[in-house]
Structure 1
Amino acid sequence: MTTIVVVHTGPVTVQPIKEQFQQLLPDARVINIVDDSLLNDVRTAGHLTPEVTSRIYNYMQNAQSMGADIILNACSSVGEATDVLRGMIRTPIVKVDESMAEQASAIGPRIGVVATVSTTLEPTVRLIRKKALEHGRQADVVERIAEGAFDALLAGDAARHDDILRRAIVELAAEVDVVVLAQVSMARLVPALGELRVPVLSSPRSGVEAVRRALAQH
């Protein structure tokens, strides 16, 4: 049986990714490692720290010991740790947002990125620019923080979080060729956005599709 270990930095990414695995890789054994101190420490520092990278390394080593065929890094805020750890962990590692970043740069040069925390926004923007450069494409990135949304979610007010975020996405869609949702937890809003003039990309499905492609090549 195929074993996939997913490293999460908080509980909010577990369910949306689990649902995609059930649809796309229903026979796989999926193990979730969740440590919500990782994202909290990144937010406190304002950036990825060596200490957080070290803890992620330990989790990925554990995943390797569990016999994982693939490791999925589920958080964009710590995605750049994966770039460091890929050379240190034998098991292939997939970043949940890497495929989404490639798709965005293929759609058009004006790419809007929405996040609720700056520690996710900045690495996502860097990843999109990196992917565009790799493919010889232009990427004019418009950044947008949905102010107050993350605090509302932490306070248990999902409706307010969704309302703030929805308005930010709709406003940004009027300015760009494609909108990228920088956090896995945002994906559930897509069906409620209605008809927009540009595509809105989210990472849970494209991330799990990338896992499926990697397994096929493994």
Structure 2
Amino acid sequence: MVNGLLLLHTSPVHVPVFDALRDRCHPGAGLRHLVAPHLLDRARAEGPESVAPALLGLLAEAGPSPVLVTCSTIGAVAEALAPALGVPVLRVDRPMAAAAVRTGPRIAVLATVESTLTPTGELLAEEARAAGAAVSVRTQLVAGAWERFEAGDAQGCLARVAAAVEAVTDADVVVLAQASMAAAAELAASRIPVLSSPAPGLAAGLELVSRHTA
């Protein structure tokens, strides 16, 4: 029996963000949260593929629900586990990446964790191939932002991300690679479209639930 949408997070800060987004845009939708910070720690130290066995065990134990993975670093690894789990698995940044490819060919990617850059670049290339679009992707690590995030200074982290957004002048679209960066889009004064993953990702995840239970 499907029990709503299962969200896998690697930080507890995402839980209230997605609950608030649900309440605002999808009232009444059933969400379950699974928080596993150790997966990101391991992925950063040993590579994303290293978390596959532990990730499979966690998701299998959580029960048969469609899964939305909110960590960009391990998103591709999680999606590859869908056949073994027997349920749809979606990385939260896939709908954002598809939107970025539609927006324009010059894509600037900002991230606060280096381990996110390669998976996000690969995702954008995948979505570009699917759309038959030619894109150029430039990635940038926002210096000092993750240190502030880890220290509990969310606003300090977002301020650094917003400043980095404002410094981008030669792109058609800016992609905020991690869900934790989303609020920076509202802080930045930029004429370039700035895309974040939580809202389109949650909408797509809930659509998976609807299709899976139909």
Question: Residue 32 of structure 2 aligns to a residue in which SS?
Answer: strand
List aligned pairs for 1:139-218, cutoff 5 A. 139-172=135-168, 174-194=169-189, 196-218=190-212
**Contact 1:16/1:184 (CA < 8 Å) preserved in 2?**
no
Stretches (4+) displaced over 6 A: none
Whether 1:60 and 2:66 are equivalent positions in the alignment is no
Match of 2:93 in 1: 97
Q: Return the TM-score normalized by structure 1.
A: 0.90
Q: Return the TM-score normalized by structure 2.
A: 0.92
Aligned partner (choices 103, 124, 133) of residue 107 of structure 1? 103
Distance 1:27 1:155 in 2: 33
Deviation at 1:84, TM superposition (A): 1.9
Deviation at 1:131, TM superposition (A): 0.4
Match of 1:48 in 2: 48
Q: Deviations over 1:172-215 (max 9, x none)?
A: 2x110000000101111222113x22110000001011113223
Distance 1:217 1:158 in 2: 36
Whether 1:25 and 2:29 are equivalent positions in the alignment is no
Question: Residue 175 of structure 1 aligns to a residue in which SS?
Answer: coil
Whether 1:9 and 2:10 are equivalent positions in the alignment is yes
Change (3 A) 1:76 1:31: same
Aligned partner (choices 77, 80, 98) of residue 81 of structure 1? 77
Deviation at 1:81, TM superposition (A): 0.9
Residue identity opposite 1:185 in structure 2:
S
Deviation at 1:40, TM superposition (A): 1.1
CA RMSD of superposed structures (Å): 1.6
Distance 1:151 1:21 in 2: 29
Whether 1:72 and 2:68 are equivalent positions in the alignment is yes
**Contact 2:104/2:172 (CA < 8 Å) preserved in 1?**
yes
Distance 1:83 1:72 in 2: 9
Residue identity opposite 1:181 in structure 2:
L
Deviation at 1:110, TM superposition (A): 0.2
Question: Residue 191 of structure 2 aligns to a residue in which SS?
Answer: coil
**Contact 1:7/1:59 (CA < 8 Å) preserved in 2?**
no
Residue identity opposite 1:193 in structure 2:
A
Distance 1:24 1:40 in 2: 32
**Contact 2:11/2:36 (CA < 8 Å) preserved in 1?**
yes
Change (3 A) 1:163 1:25: closer
Residue identity opposite 1:53 in structure 2:
A
Deviation at 1:49, TM superposition (A): 3.2
Deviation at 1:162, TM superposition (A): 2.2
Question: Residue 11 of structure 1 aligns to a residue in which SS?
Answer: coil
Q: Deviations over 1:102-157 (max 9, x none)?
A: 00001110001000111112101110111001110011001111011101221233
**Contact 1:24/1:208 (CA < 8 Å) preserved in 2?**
no
Question: Residue 49 of structure 1 aligns to a residue in which SS?
Answer: helix
Instruction: Show structure 1 runs of 5+ residues with no match.
Output: none
